[in-house]
């Protein structure tokens, strides 16, 4: 267990009422834009948080190092930095290391040191048959589980997470996010419920280029965590949301499921609804529940999941947490509140509330998502074959 005393929240709150704010915006044309608008949008939902966590993920911000893994690491001591840098140098080729630029912000107290490393997997240091992404994941897990005074909180290519203890608008100012540009941004304002407010426990949560921001509570955390540990994931950030990031990495990257199918693992239809579906759909959903039953996410939740070229919004199957979708031009917006979207996009063309358990997906180069009915049957564009990779290997 890490000693979090000098980077934990100064208020000492351990259990508070539920809130949280999430926001995502993506330009499906790939055009990049600064972090100013998303800082404004998430800041407008200030009252949904309490200053115990804020953070952002941005994609496309490191084009000059796009082929390298960008590790962002927080250090709680000088010795922790020395130990982890020695570990990185012995297992990767470190192309560049530098301290992440920050500004002095009155509301940010006792921040840890934050460094970034652009890394290349040196095939001479690993077995020939080891997949590169598995090699990276294994070493992120090892650092976060074995080193007490530091942790990796961002590990993808051409993307980054910036987070900490504070309101999100303060975190945005602290990390100078108005000076970065990306084609996809997500943001989170935290109001911790069952887990401590500390720098590592702020959202987004990340592995490789997968990031997750979450409003709600994963009451199935225990069984979800035990299932993921079978595949080598180690949960060390002291919060339920961490399992969502690892579950998406497992389902989409390692098992190759389509997004729509992965959504029906995390937010599976109720058994009572399956009885009324056509036989092919009933067969598919029953198979998913049998194979991935331990990854079903119980409890109220809304998540925004992002990775290179894609942003996904998903609520629990009975919509116990809010999500509004907006589109305008080539921009897709996902938000806890419609007012936050309209604040930065007054000429919003479309806005709607999606059906529970049905993903909203924006992809680079694709048309923007369109409003659709909440019927339980599969819609056009979701007709993935029953012989798709539905397996637990």
Domains annotated on the chain, with CATH: 21-218+299-363 (3.60.20.10)
| Mode of pairing for the β-strands spanning 205-207 and 150-154 | unpaired
**DSSP character for 249?**
I
Q: Say what the pTM is.
A: 0.90
Residue 123 to residue 139: CA distance in whole angstroms: 14
* Residues that are catalytic: 20
CB distance 199 to 7 below 8 Å: yes
Q: Which of 363, 362, 347, 355 is CA-nearest to residue 379?
A: 355
How big is the chain by its Cα radius of gyration, in Å? Answer: 20
Strand partners, 56: 162, 187
pLDDT tier for residue 274 given thresholds of 50, 70 and 90: confident
pLDDT, tens digit, 9 for 90 and up, residues 3-60: 544 445 454 554 444 479 999 999 999 999 999 999 999 999 999 999 999 999 999 9
- Report pLDDT for 24: 98
pLDDT, tens digit, 9 for 90 and up, residues 231-271: 999 999 888 899 999 999 999 999 999 999 999 999 998 88
pLDDT tier for residue 356 given thresholds of 50, 70 and 90: very high
The predicted model gives 299-309 an average pLDDT of: 95
**DSSP character for 360?**
E
- Report pLDDT for 3: 52
Residue 185 to residue 34: CA distance in whole angstroms: 9
CB distance 206 to 57 below 8 Å: yes
pLDDT over 80 at 193, yes or no: no
Residue with token string 């351990």:
14
Residue 316 to residue 267: CA distance in whole angstroms: 5
- Report pLDDT for 272: 87
Residue 244 to residue 240: CA distance in whole angstroms: 8
In Å, what is the CA distance from 183 to each residue of 11, 119, 193, 263, 289?
A: 36, 23, 32, 24, 35
- Report pLDDT for 29: 98
- Report pLDDT for 12: 53
């Amino acid at each position: 267990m890490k000693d979090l005393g000098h980077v934990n929240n100064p208020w000492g709150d351990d259990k508070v009422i539920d809130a949280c704010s999430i926001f995502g915006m993506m330009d499906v044309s790939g055009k990049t834009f600064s972090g100013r608008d998303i800082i404004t949008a998430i800041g407008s939902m200030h009252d949904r948080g309490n200053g115990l966590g804020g953070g952002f993920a941005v994609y496309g911000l490191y084009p000059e190092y796009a082929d390298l893994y960008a590790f962002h690491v927080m250090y709680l001591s000088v010795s922790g930095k020395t130990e982890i840098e020695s570990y990185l140098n012995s297992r990767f080729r470190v192309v560049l290391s530098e301290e992440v630029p920050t500004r002095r912000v009155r509301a940010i107290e006792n921040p840890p040191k934050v460094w970034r490393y652009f890394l290349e997997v040196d095939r001479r240091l690993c077995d020939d048959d080891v997949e590169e992404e598995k090699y990276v994941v294994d070493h992120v897990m090892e650092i976060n589980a074995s080193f007490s005074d530091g942790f990796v909180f961002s590990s993808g290519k051409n993307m980054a997470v910036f987070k900490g203890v504070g309101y999100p608008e303060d975190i945005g100012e602290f990390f100078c996010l108005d000076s970065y540009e990306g084609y996809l941004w997500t943001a989170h304002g935290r109001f911790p419920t069952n887990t401590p407010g500390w720098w590592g426990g702020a959202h987004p949560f990340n592995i490789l280029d997968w990031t997750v921001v979450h409003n709600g509570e994963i009451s199935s955390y225990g069984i979800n965590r035990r299932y993921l540990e079978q595949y080598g994931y180690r949960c060390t950030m002291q919060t339920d949301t961490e399992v969502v990031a690892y579950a998406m990495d497992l389902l989409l990257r390692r098992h190759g499921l389509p997004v729509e199918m992965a959504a029906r693992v995390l937010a599976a239809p109720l058994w009572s609804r399956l009885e009324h579906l056509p036989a092919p759909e009933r067969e598919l959903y029953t198979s998913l529940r049998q194979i991935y039953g331990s990854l079903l996410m119980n409890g109220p939740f809304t998540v925004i999941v992002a990775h290179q070229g894609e942003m996904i919004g998903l609520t629990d199957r009975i919509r116990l947490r809010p999500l509004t979708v907006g589109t305008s031009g080539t921009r897709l917006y996902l938000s806890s509140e419609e007012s936050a979207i309209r604040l930065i996009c007054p000429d919003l063309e479309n806005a709607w509330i999606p059906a529970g358990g049905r993903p909203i997906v924006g992809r680079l180069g694709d048309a923007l998502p369109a409003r659709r009915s909440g019927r339980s049957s599969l819609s056009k564009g979701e007709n993935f074959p029953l012989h798709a990779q539905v397996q637990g290997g």
